[in-house]
Structure 1
């Protein structure tokens, strides 16, 4: 009896915007659904037909067409009754049957299931959406009624469904611009997910509402009077903030409930776009706007088609006022989104942005190799806290907000990350530390000899990238320290009249026994890291007849330096040695070999200790960019620093640091740190700088 009365109310509602024959078609679908579901009950004990009937009423409020409403009434018959698709086509035609079939497929969505099933369900949703958006509207209305009647379920099931609603359905409603559904999803989801928090905030809002009423009325009356004077017809309403929105702002902005509630919100609906801007001018004359808070979503609509003018002003009594100014059509779009303009009938009407989004999902679905790739694109728009970028093949990579090209490279393949040297985003080169934006198409540039840079650990976001970099560096440091250890030991063995290749197994056994190390590689690594002295080990390994009581005054062969890269060989920042300079090295425990200028004062204390202070030579094949520091004394003139920097860049040198200190009113000293290939390259840079007429002196700083 209750269902019949509700159906009668539905018929009356439909008569206000549908033709009589269309209303009869909807009622015929109701009678058919009632017969199909006869004897079936919901968990609440009500007849099952009350659910599709309620779904149809929700959609009737959106003024959905008669075929969509028929499908809403029949949306469960394929899944829960003996009726098949062919029978539906016979009774109601292929369009309604396809809609019902599409909704039935969407009912298989299980967001807590395994990733692949979840992705397949998303794929079905998009295929159905792209063919007919009414499928998704019915599904959203179906979920809304389920949320309204969720109280009969167990607390655990309520929380699961509420989380699913907040995570998936509310963002989809927002993406399609259906604000009324989104707000109700959020309120119902909040009350089911966090019932205690919801109840406390509801009570706090009721308490705060009392003193606010007079202020809201005073502001509203002031706006209405001023608009009436300007002959602008408008509907002015004071809006109450929704609890989920308040809760989210309290969390994200770390503000109290009182701070959030201190803002008063008003919506002004007028009859034309011209009057929107006129109204804005009137409001600015009435209240002082807050700088930087104005947003024009009329000229530049949001991606879901939403349009309004937004601003924050300081009202009477110093309270903050949020205002939204829009036309009646914009208000309908804000509330009903794609449903407001029959988007499923015409691509040209209403909300082309939302339509393009849906069509874009279909295109990605066609291109994606599998459903898991496709789901990432769906999430791009629904979950802005994540970043979704494309590979050159069109694959989608999911990354956390703030991720960089290095994270992307490692997400694709560890080998790609280990050898990356640069990145192109949509065809343009970007630094490896750049924070990525969703939708970018990335191309990682690699070189065969490249390797991870320890500085990457300062900006990577993903655990995969961080662990891969650390693993590589640890392995690389191990390998490099063994190579350096071999060279140092070979040099030390020279003073015993032998070399590394001549080491006998008995010597190695003796070394392992004396040091307690598990392997000879471990000993070599310790030497390379500076934790063990090479000469002391050589003396330990050698037979008693070959051992010496004192360290020789010098070793015969110096260690050759052939590259800038490496984790075990470091270049001193106090003197910045470059190829061509006379150099010395010292072993720093745990760091390896540190290269200094031969004349560096910091080596004075250990210069005579040949175990710690090592003679070095540059290899003839040395390569890399080396940092060097120098000073430029010049006449202070406007733009001279820019000219100086330009001269340096023209010589293909990279400026790492530039700092100018004014010496007096007429001259300045500029401290520079640049990267060069060697002394010849540095000489070219200095020669180019000296050609500037403002330059008085250029000299290298070595300590």
Structure 2
């Protein structure tokens, strides 16, 4: 391949090294002519510059080969997926046709490329996931999980290249990875990749905390290694005496999980006792797996006192993503609690490589959980009226939840998310049972539908023919399956109520011999303050509005409207001018374009970070409407990680000449002339107005807060630069609020 001009010398070496590694890892899965065909195609598309550098200078072909290596060596994808991944970009750029790909390889490769093309916006490097394209992501997930695995591999590849990205791109990528791709990796059982994505996200979004934990881990490494060696030695001796074949090692917990413990438990680093876990991996045939795992459990608990409250048996009942392991916590030397994980080589491979390892061990009972989850995704996507924002909310919450195991009266085991209620259980059995549920018997005791279930509960649902889903049920359930089914039932009930109310109102109009004109009625409904026509008819159906009062008010409204129109006829057309509130917002020169190129949408600027024209911003859908935040808002990370489904894109358009108030904190040497000089600088700036100032002076240090009205970030940056040049000024910082 003569593609030297395309690479730097270092990139050229890296590419051919990775290429050989990829071929070696896939060799036994490739067909006879695959390598020759790929080489010929790649030579052609490289010559057409399909793999050009992006705006960060990253070589597209290097990125693709690295992603392909992750996909095959760390996730376990094979020939079809890797070829599709390498040819996706040439097909996207129309250098190669799908027909040519199918002719050269096969229809399955073409199928994956087609599905990757559907998510091309998401697969593009800098596109943040919003409510609209999340629907496409879920659709791809339900249609072909390999597409999502490729996208996870690509995000991991980019996160590893993080230092080569611009800071803004790195932040977007990190927040997207933490609130979406890490949870997806978790749901698919890719624990190693999930941990790395989380750690890298923390590194890029909170580097101080990341570096602090990393430094602390390095400082305690020697004593930790000595402790692990001392803990393992007697166990190793006993397991060998029992004739077992195994590996045993200590594993330090991820930086992200340690950070979570620090935040949740509000303790110092030294207060965390479980910084590591011991893992015993048995080499044993399938039929002996369970018995040998329990044999190891018995040997370890004979030597060290176990904590019964921290015992997790995922061997008898695997997690829904296929994870199998026996977790115990025992009291080790120096009275320290130590977590021990016991599993077999097969279980370990599934734990590390997730879904792809399931295909290798097809037929093992642990794989059914993912099929159930995908069926729920498909059911939600079939609901055409499902709001994309609701989809994000429903499925984001299902990705990371721990599980509980409960039983039907006949002993059938049902897996539910931790925190699931009686109502979740009813919908898990059948949607009809859920819709008619009024209460339940849990362990022979009567409980209400909102009762939270616990591991091992036996549940019997009580129904009533007159029962129907209520809107507040959405606050009771925690599983996406229950939410989807409740919303579906509520929509059906609403549709019936609207039809009934429409028919009833038309009948009342007819009885009173009044003609109902649709345009007048629509304007009357809007004037009454209803957001939608459906809301109006629901109020009528539920008898919160009197139809006779509605007709009287409608007549009065039509009368006034007619009189106003008659009066307006004598005025000059040139005198008429009016705008609605939304139009006023949308015609501002500093208008925001929200989500998918939408303007004229009402929004508020968040007080926590006070964004101004020119700041990089995003929208957050709150209960008070859309709030606009700066990308570097102190609350941004929390919003992205906990409420990713509410995030929408936003960007400025037009000119920002309306003015925004920004507070600057200036610190410097205490000098009588410093305030005069700063206010003089502000006064000379044509696009800046001083609104207020607050000054303090302690121990020879001057500190002042200057509230200024600026047009945009350009005028703000220019002002900050000039204030910094004032004699005696040390620092100038923009306050968030």
Of structures 1 and 2, the one scoring higher in RCO (CA 8 A, sep 6+) is 2
What's the TM-score bracket when you normalise by the shorter of the two chains?
A: 0.5 to 0.7
Q: How does 1:235-274 map to 2 (within 5 A)?
A: 235-270=247-282, 271=284, 272-274=289-291
Q: Decide whether aligned partners of structure 1 residues 347 and 106 sit closer, same or farther in structure 2, where only a CA change above 3 A counts.
A: farther
Corresponding residue for 1:357? 373
Q: 2:478 aligns with which of 433, 437, 444?
A: 437
Give the direction of change, closer, same or farther, for the CA distance of 1:286–1:19 in structure 2 (3 Å limit): farther
Contact 2:121/2:127 (<8 A) preserved: no
Partner of 2:121, secondary structure, is coil
Q: Which residue of 1 aligns with 2:214?
A: 202
Residues 122, 133 of structure 2: 8 Å contact kept: yes
User: Is 1:322 equivalent to 2:347 in the alignment?
Assistant: no
Is the counterpart of residue 122 in structure 1 residue 137 in structure 2? no
Q: What residue ranges of structure 2 are gaps of 5+ in the alignment?
A: 1-11, 403-418, 424-437, 440-446, 451-460, 498-737
Residue matched to 1:69 = 82
Identify if the C-alpha distance between structure 1 residues 381 and 316 changes in structure 2 by more than 3 Å, giving closer, same or farther.
Answer: same
Q: Which residue among 58, 67, 92 is the counterpart of 1:79?
A: 92
Q: CA deviation at 1:204?
A: 0.9
Report the alpha carbon displacement of residue 200 of structure 1 after superposing the two structures with TM.
1.4
Shift of 1:402: 11
1:286 maps to 303
**Partner residue of 2:327?**
310
Aligned to 1:378, what secondary structure does the other structure show? helix
SS of residue matched to 1:255: coil
Return closer, same or farther for 1:226/1:50 CA change in 2, 3 Å cut-off: same
Alignment match of 1:369 (pick from 358, 362, 385): 385
Match of 2:551 in 1: none
Deviations 1:269-320 (A, max 9, x none): 1122221111000010111101311110011111211010011100112111
In structure 2, what is the equivalent of residue 190 of structure 1?
202
Classify 1:142/1:80 alpha carbon distance in 2 versus 1 (closer, same or farther; 3 Å): farther
CA contact (8 A) 2:183 2:399 kept: yes
Deviation at residue 212 of structure 1 after TM alignment:
1.3
CA displacement 1:232-278 (0-9 Å, x = unmatched): 11110101111001001111222221222554411111122221111
TM-superposed deviation, 1:379 = 2.0
**1:604 corresponding residue in structure 2:** none
2:117 aligned partner: 104
- Report SS of the residue matched to 1:231: coil
Q: Give the match for residue 179 of structure 1.
A: 191
SS at match of 2:122: coil
Larger radius of gyration: 1
Q: CA shift at 1:74, angstroms?
A: 1.7
Contact persistence 1:263–1:319 (CA under 8 A): no
The CA distance in 2 between the partners of 1:349 and 1:356, in whole Å, is 13
8 Å CA contact 2:252, 2:275 repeated in 1: no
Q: Contact 1:78–1:101 (CA<8 Å) still a contact in 2?
A: no
Distance in structure 2 (CA, Å) of the matches to 1:227 and 1:317: 23
Give yes or no for contact 1:289–1:311 (8 Å, CA) kept in 2: yes
Distance 1:19 1:252 in 2: 52
User: Which residue number corresponds to residue 225 of structure 2?
Assistant: 213
Q: 1:47 to 1:81 in 2, by over 3 A?
A: farther
In structure 2, the residue matched to 1:550 is none
1:42-57 correspondence runs (5 A): 42-57=54-69
Contact 1:347 1:355 in 2 (8 A): no
| Mean Cα deviation higher: 76-85 or 434-443 | 434-443
Provide the rounded CA distance (Å) in 1 between the counterparts of 2:297 and 2:36: 47
Give CA deviations for 1:137-165 in whole Å, capped at 9, x if unaligned. 11111111111112122222211210110
DSSP-derived class of the 2:279 partner? strand
Partner Cα separation in structure 2 for residue 22 and residue 359 of structure 1: 35
- C-alpha change, 1:4 and 1:294, in structure 2 (3 Å) is same
Name whichever of 77-86 and 436-445 sits farther off: 436-445
> 2:126, 2:173 within 8 Å by CA — same for their partners in 1?
no
For the 8 Å contact 2:420–2:477, the answer to whether it is kept is yes
> Contact (CA 8 Å) 1:128, 1:135: kept in 2 or not?
yes
The more displaced of 429-438 and 184-193 is 429-438
Q: Secondary structure at the match of 2:323?
A: coil
- Structure-1 separation of matches of 2:301 and 2:174: 41
Cα deviation, residue 352, structure 1: 2.2
| Aligned Cα root-mean-square deviation (Å) | 3.9
Residues 376-525 of structure 1: pairs in structure 2 closer than 5 A: 376-382=393-399, 384=401, 436-438=477-479, 439-440=481-482
Q: Is 1:337 matched up with 2:354?
A: yes
1:268–1:326 CA contact under 8 A, matched in 2: yes
Preserved CA contact (<8 Å) 1:173 1:182: yes
8 Å CA contact retained: 2:58, 2:164: no
Q: Unaligned 5+ residue runs, structure 1?
A: 386-400, 406-419, 449-703
Once the two structures are TM-superposed, the CA of residue 371 in structure 1 deviates from its matched residue by: 4.7
Per-residue deviation, 1:125: 2.2
TM-score for the superposition, normalised by structure 2: 0.51
Normalised TM-score (structure 1):
0.53
What secondary structure does 1:235 align onto?
strand
> Contact conserved, 1:238 with 1:266, CA < 8 A, in 2?
yes
Q: Distance in 2 between matches of 1:273 and 1:18?
A: 35
Task: Report 1:138-157 matches (<5 A).
Answer: 138-157=150-169
Q: Which residue number corresponds to residue 40 of structure 1? A: 52
- The residue that corresponds to 1:508 in the other structure is none
Shift of 1:78: 3.2
Q: 1: distance between equivalents of 2:72 and 2:178?
A: 24
Q: CA deviation at 1:187?
A: 1.4
Select which of 93, 100, 118 maps to 2:106: 93
Whether contact under 8 Å (2:203, 2:211) holds in the other structure is yes
